[in-house]
Structure 1
């Protein structure tokens, strides 16, 4: 089973333009992410997929691998174009603005497919338990609910489940945007039309659910620093 990692990266971002080219220590955010993924030793190949010449030149200029793609609505669509002609079985999507992803969660995602002997799982991803009321109600945190076997039932920016029966304790989970795809499922995803729920929520993995594909969710206690704002960048610099 050939496993590769792809880091989708675009230069523009609505909340923090050019965030991937900001510096962390002596490297940019995108180069830090690339190096950290490469150093896990889990992948036969690691590269950045981007529509930005600035990011492309940054990675290649620092000895890394990158491919140019067209413009896309989602990171998954960008990755699908990038891996179209690459021989691989499993594609791990690591967000370019998550520079501190650890080894263990990536290993957990890979193990999902090693144990999926009937090849029923299209996609695996991560979730982390939420405790703070403000974090639970924050629409920037995508929440996920699963069945008894850990398969995603739905993702939402709203609070799910709704805690009507207050005598019963409810657990809330945030979806962490690190994905592991079967290549053929990823290619299929990119050919499918967006449906109303994905459009309404602006959550790309809902497309898989709307077309009846299985998403396995793995609980993790990993807390990284996703860089969405200048304040997040300062937190990351403190970690460095």
Structure 2
């Protein structure tokens, strides 16, 4: 099985400007992500950026970098541009890795690519078990439910599934094993990426602010299974960045 990894690296960030170039133990964040992705067994790892500073920095450690437009409304649109720039075959498996995950688990990248390769679905993703009850009610922790065949049934910021007995009886605890949190890593067949951006925006994705709901709304399948490695949180803020730096310093001490 061959697959390609694409890492979008937008320079602009409201909470952490210039995020891809943030220094982490002597390397820019985007280099950490790239090096982790290279350990997944991908045939190629491409960084897609919209800013010359990022392009120039990435060019110091790899030639696999492309410049993309600044006006994309979503990461999937940027992915579609990369597929066109690289002229990828429609059956090529493309794994989209977020550029703000310097502690990326390479095993998870390989896992989601294999999950898609072994199915006829156009898209695949991963989840993890929820261990903190607060996450069930946290709208920033996206929950997902799936069927017996590893097909995602629905993604939501709400507490799904609704544990009726526990919710209505204060004496009963929530059964955490019933809940899964979505992990934002996706594998696509290259041809489906263009199909996706041609689909009309769904009312569900607007309500939940979850782009993947467009796929389910239009009747396509998304394969999902629990990640083999519990992923670390990405970097959204300066506080997140400090935690990653501290983690790596302690690991290398």
Is it true that 1:190 corresponds to 2:189 in the alignment? no
Give the match for residue 68 of structure 2. 69
Give the match for residue 3 of structure 1. 3
Q: Output the CA distance in 2 between the equivalents of 1:144 and 1:13.
A: 27
User: Structure 2: any 5+ residue segments left out of the alignment?
Assistant: 167-171, 249-253
Count of residue pairs brought into register by the alignment? 236
Cα deviations across residues 106-156 of structure 1 (Å, max 9, x unaligned)? 22212223322xx2x111111011121222222111111111222111111
Give the match for residue 148 of structure 1. 148
Change (3 A) 1:125 1:46: same
Give the match for residue 251 of structure 2. none
Moved more, 98-107 or 139-148: 98-107
User: Structure 1: any 5+ residue segments left out of the alignment?
Assistant: none
How far 1:73 sits from its partner (Å)?
Answer: 1.8
Q: Output the CA distance in 1 between the equivalents of 2:195 and 2:211.
A: 13
> Which of the numbers 185, 199, 210 marks the counterpart of 2:206?
199
Equivalent pair of 1:152/1:217 in contact (CA under 8 Å): yes
Q: Output the CA distance in 1 between the equivalents of 2:49 and 2:75.
A: 10
What's the C-alpha RMSD, in Å, of the aligned pairs? 1.8
Cα deviations across residues 149-169 of structure 1 (Å, max 9, x unaligned)? 221111111221222222683
Give the match for residue 32 of structure 1. 32
Give the match for residue 101 of structure 1. 104
* Aligned positions of 1:135-174 closer than 5 A: 135-166=135-166, 169=175, 171-174=178-181
How far 1:54 sits from its partner (Å)?
Answer: 1.9
Q: Output the CA distance in 1 between the equivalents of 2:131 and 2:124.
A: 23
How far 1:87 sits from its partner (Å)?
Answer: 2.6
**Secondary structure, counterpart of 1:62 in structure 2:** coil
Give the match for residue 88 of structure 2. 87
Q: Output the CA distance in 1 between the equivalents of 2:93 and 2:163.
A: 37
Give the match for residue 130 of structure 1. 130
TM-score, scaled relative to structure 2: 0.87
How far 1:200 sits from its partner (Å)?
Answer: 2.1
Equivalent pair of 1:56/1:67 in contact (CA under 8 Å): yes
Moved more, 229-238 or 102-111: 102-111
Q: Output the CA distance in 2 between the equivalents of 1:174 and 1:230.
A: 24
